[in-house]
Structure 1
Amino acid sequence: MNMNFSYNFPAIKGVQASKDFYTVICPLRLIPKIFLFDEEEIPAEHRAQRLMNKSRIPEITNYILENPKDYVFSSLTASVDGEMSFHPYSEEFKDIGRLTISLDSKFLINDGQHRRAAIEEALKISPELGDESISVVFFHDRGLLRSQQLFADLNRHAVNTTSSIGILYEHRDQLALVTKNLITEVPLLERYTDKEKVSLSKNSPKLFALNHIFNTNCRLLGKKKGELISDQEKQYIKEFWEIFCDSILEWGLVLKKEMSPRELRATSIAAHGVFLEAVGIVGYSLFSKYPTQWKSYLKQLSNIDWSRDNKSDWLGRAYGPTGRINKTNETVQLTANLIKVKLGLSLTDYELQMETRFMEGNRVGA
């Protein structure tokens, strides 16, 4: 190998399955140059597993640009088809040295192509990021014959964190912070919110999942994760939940330990995410149209029958013919529609259209 035509990296050598691999620190400015990504040039047998979801790239790019002082990335993992050699710095430390890779080698990312693309976009806007670095794990793979199996093995045991855990560990997003603060301030939520799970088992001692409260707040303000929240909106969320919790009589029974969460979950829709998010939609309408009267409307929730036995109201909306709770955007909206009607609120044109389709479907199925 001609040393004048090669990449040289300080590296640490490791061994897995009797095969060497190398971890290097690579300046961000080199990432787009080393790891070219042209799907047309990647063989089909590799390309199929690596089609990028391009909608993810702006999100990751913005994460870098908006958090220049505390962003963090895990290592990229890549296969190398080409000449490689490792040169230890000393006899005493044989696993620390310099990794040399020929310039005509082919690199194929096994894990991290979205990060690579986001880094490239971020560098276009903030070139100074080029002096920062990321760790890269290289596997020598002649002909890229192992790349498919590497991809499969790297993702086989990957377990995504739940959305509740993501909210719990989020310290930048305003809506996540407001939601977590809310839970500490409202006794019912503090005691009966599961901060890890996204859905609760029938025997869970909790009433709510953190992600359900977060999603309800999104609907309550008509906002998405990452959007700014005004002080007025923060105050509205707090006051809304305080009145909301006092207006659901069954929740009060749970708080007094006169009813268990398990019993409430089995007998009422008021212990399920479809209900929470539906009330969030109603709350958004109240906040928008009745800024001075919304509290009196919200308190009327105490007059509504939330029991599963109330099939004339909730069958086909909050749950299906088998009695199973079914939370989709459609069922959340249909549940919200009926709550609005019961509170004496008008429906939007879109909501009226949904009601028409719902009624027509019920007539056909009758």
Structure 2
Amino acid sequence: MDFGFSYVFPAVRGKQALKEYYVVMCPLKLIPKIFLFDEEEIPAEHRSQRILNKNRIPEITNYIIENSKDYVFSSLTASVDGEMQFNSINADGGFKDIGQLHVSLDARFLINDGQHRRAAIEEALKVDPELGNETISIVIFQDTGLKKSQQIFSDLNRHAVNTTTSIGILYDHRDKLSILTKEIVANNTLLSRYTDKERVTLSKNSPKILALNHIFNTNLRLVNRSKGENLLNEEEEFLLDFWNELTQTLQEWNLVFEKKMSARDLRMNYINGHGVCLEAIGLVGYFLIKNYSNEWKDYIHQLNSIDWSRTNEKDWLHRAISPNGRIQKTRDTILLTANKIKQLLNLPLTEVEQKIEEKYGLGDFNDVKLI
């Protein structure tokens, strides 16, 4: 190799499956220039990667820009189709696997894992070019053809397990609503004892009433926000007050708290032990704070007069409960459950809510005033 015409990276050499690979440090400004992504609109069997989901890029880009002092990125993984040579700094000593990796200028770099991070880095550099001198680690394999690149992608993702939404909320110290949700749980005696902070769905024998993501999603409904949006001070105060009122009101939850009912029995026999009901209550709560700001607590207290039992098919069938008797949580079932709660509280429907009733042919709301 002609070292006058090559990329040179500080590198560490390793070995897996009897083959060498390298971990190099690369300036961010070089990422868009040399690390390519197989983006062509060609059949999947002829690509070594999934198609880039461009909707993900702005979120990752904003993460870099907004947290330029403390963002964290894991390594990219790439295959190099071209000539490479590793030179150790001390071939005879204990540093024989530390040195420089020389890669010919005409080599082709193909991203195997991290294509969305690569695209986001490119966009972030357009906003803040100073990021270009920072580095990211790259795990480099020798490219031996399309089948090998496809296999690398498959192997890297085969055993990958996404973290649960609840864990994401628990470990998120930037998002304001995540922080507030954890504060709500920590400062509420019932929630702190009966909230599962890791899982997103509870097994039938779980001793918990709620999962952390149930509370977070309900908070989104209560303030009609999307994840990542800022909260007003009055919205924060409302959320804190709301959970205090709700946990004091729902008698089934308090029966669990008082050891007079198990959490398992709650989920088996009542819909208010499930996320679909909780998010529906969140929609009702948002309606109340916007339209009955001085009376919302009175309406929340009236939730205790509702029959939440799963045997109450008159109210919950085709809403929170499917025809096969299972609890179902979709966008529409949350809306339909919220509609029934509003009807039971003698609250008016909006035009959108009336339309979804008509869509599914449920209930008789003719005597309920629309707003």
Classify the secondary structure of the residue corresponding to 2:77.
strand
Deviation at 1:293, TM superposition (A): 1.2
Classify the secondary structure of the residue corresponding to 2:36.
coil
One of 190, 193, 199 as aligned partner of 1:191: 193
Code of the aligned partner of 1:241: W
For the Cα contact (< 8 Å) 2:12–2:98, is it kept in 1? Answer: yes
Classify the secondary structure of the residue corresponding to 1:23.
strand
Classify the secondary structure of the residue corresponding to 1:50.
coil
Q: Which residue is 1:78 aligned to?
A: 78
Classify the secondary structure of the residue corresponding to 1:70.
coil
For the Cα contact (< 8 Å) 1:318–1:331, is it kept in 2? Answer: yes
Deviation at 1:42, TM superposition (A): 7.9
Residue 294 (structure 1) aligned with residue 296 (structure 2): yes
Code of the aligned partner of 2:21: F
Provide the C-alpha distance between the structure 2 equivalents of 1:199 and 1:49, rounded to a whole number of angstroms.
31
For the Cα contact (< 8 Å) 1:198–1:209, is it kept in 2? Answer: yes
> Unaligned 5+ residue runs, structure 1?
none
Distance 1:42-1:117 versus aligned 2 partners, 3 A rule: farther
Distance 1:46-1:130 versus aligned 2 partners, 3 A rule: farther
Deviation at 1:292, TM superposition (A): 1.2
Provide the C-alpha distance between the structure 1 equivalents of 2:209 and 2:344, rounded to a whole number of angstroms.
24
- Once the two structures are aligned, what percentage of the paired residues are identical? 62
Q: Which residue is 1:151 aligned to?
A: 153
Deviation at 1:50, TM superposition (A): 2.4
Per-residue deviation, residues 157-208 of structure 1 (Å, max 9, x unmatched): 0000000000000000000001000001111101100000000011100000
Q: Which residue is 1:14 aligned to?
A: 14
For the Cα contact (< 8 Å) 1:9–1:24, is it kept in 2? Answer: yes
Once structures 1 and 2 are overlaid, which stretch shifts more, 136-145 or 39-48?
39-48
Question: Aligned ranges for residues 94-113 of structure 1 at < 5 Å?
Answer: 94-113=96-115
Distance 1:160-1:6 versus aligned 2 partners, 3 A rule: same
One of 122, 125, 128 as aligned partner of 1:126: 128
Provide the C-alpha distance between the structure 1 equivalents of 2:121 and 2:18, rounded to a whole number of angstroms.
33
Provide the C-alpha distance between the structure 2 equivalents of 1:349 and 1:120, rounded to a whole number of angstroms.
44
For the Cα contact (< 8 Å) 2:47–2:150, is it kept in 1? Answer: no
TM-score of the pair, normalised by structure 2: 0.95
Q: How many residues align?
A: 362
Deviation at 1:246, TM superposition (A): 1.4
Per-residue deviation, residues 47-72 of structure 1 (Å, max 9, x unmatched): 37321110000000000000011100
Provide the C-alpha distance between the structure 1 equivalents of 2:359 and 2:125, rounded to a whole number of angstroms.
49
Classify the secondary structure of the residue corresponding to 1:55.
helix
Residue 2 (structure 1) aligned with residue 2 (structure 2): yes
Classify the secondary structure of the residue corresponding to 1:312.
helix
Q: Which residue is 1:88 aligned to?
A: 88
Classify the secondary structure of the residue corresponding to 1:74.
coil
For the Cα contact (< 8 Å) 2:80–2:107, is it kept in 1? Answer: yes
Once structures 1 and 2 are overlaid, which stretch shifts more, 30-39 or 329-338?
30-39
Classify the secondary structure of the residue corresponding to 1:13.
strand
Q: Which residue is 1:51 aligned to?
A: 51
Residue 165 (structure 1) aligned with residue 167 (structure 2): yes
Per-residue deviation, residues 274-297 of structure 1 (Å, max 9, x unmatched): 010000000000111111111111
For the Cα contact (< 8 Å) 2:11–2:23, is it kept in 1? Answer: yes
One of 314, 322, 325 as aligned partner of 2:324: 322
Once structures 1 and 2 are overlaid, which stretch shifts more, 351-360 or 258-267?
351-360
Once structures 1 and 2 are overlaid, which stretch shifts more, 130-139 or 339-348?
339-348
One of 235, 239, 253 as aligned partner of 2:237: 235
For the Cα contact (< 8 Å) 1:7–1:101, is it kept in 2? Answer: yes
For the Cα contact (< 8 Å) 1:46–1:148, is it kept in 2? Answer: no
Distance 1:42-1:309 versus aligned 2 partners, 3 A rule: closer
Code of the aligned partner of 2:72: V
Classify the secondary structure of the residue corresponding to 2:40.
coil
Code of the aligned partner of 2:232: S
Provide the C-alpha distance between the structure 2 equivalents of 1:78 and 1:319, rounded to a whole number of angstroms.
48
Residue 27 (structure 1) aligned with residue 5 (structure 2): no
Distance 1:48-1:351 versus aligned 2 partners, 3 A rule: farther
Distance 1:40-1:251 versus aligned 2 partners, 3 A rule: closer
Provide the C-alpha distance between the structure 1 equivalents of 2:242 and 2:332, rounded to a whole number of angstroms.
24
Deviation at 1:43, TM superposition (A): 8.6
Provide the C-alpha distance between the structure 2 equivalents of 1:219 and 1:62, rounded to a whole number of angstroms.
24
TM-score of the pair, normalised by structure 1: 0.96
One of 203, 214, 217 as aligned partner of 2:216: 214
Q: Which residue is 2:182 aligned to?
A: 180
Classify the secondary structure of the residue corresponding to 2:261.
coil
> Unaligned 5+ residue runs, structure 2?
365-371
Distance 1:114-1:155 versus aligned 2 partners, 3 A rule: same
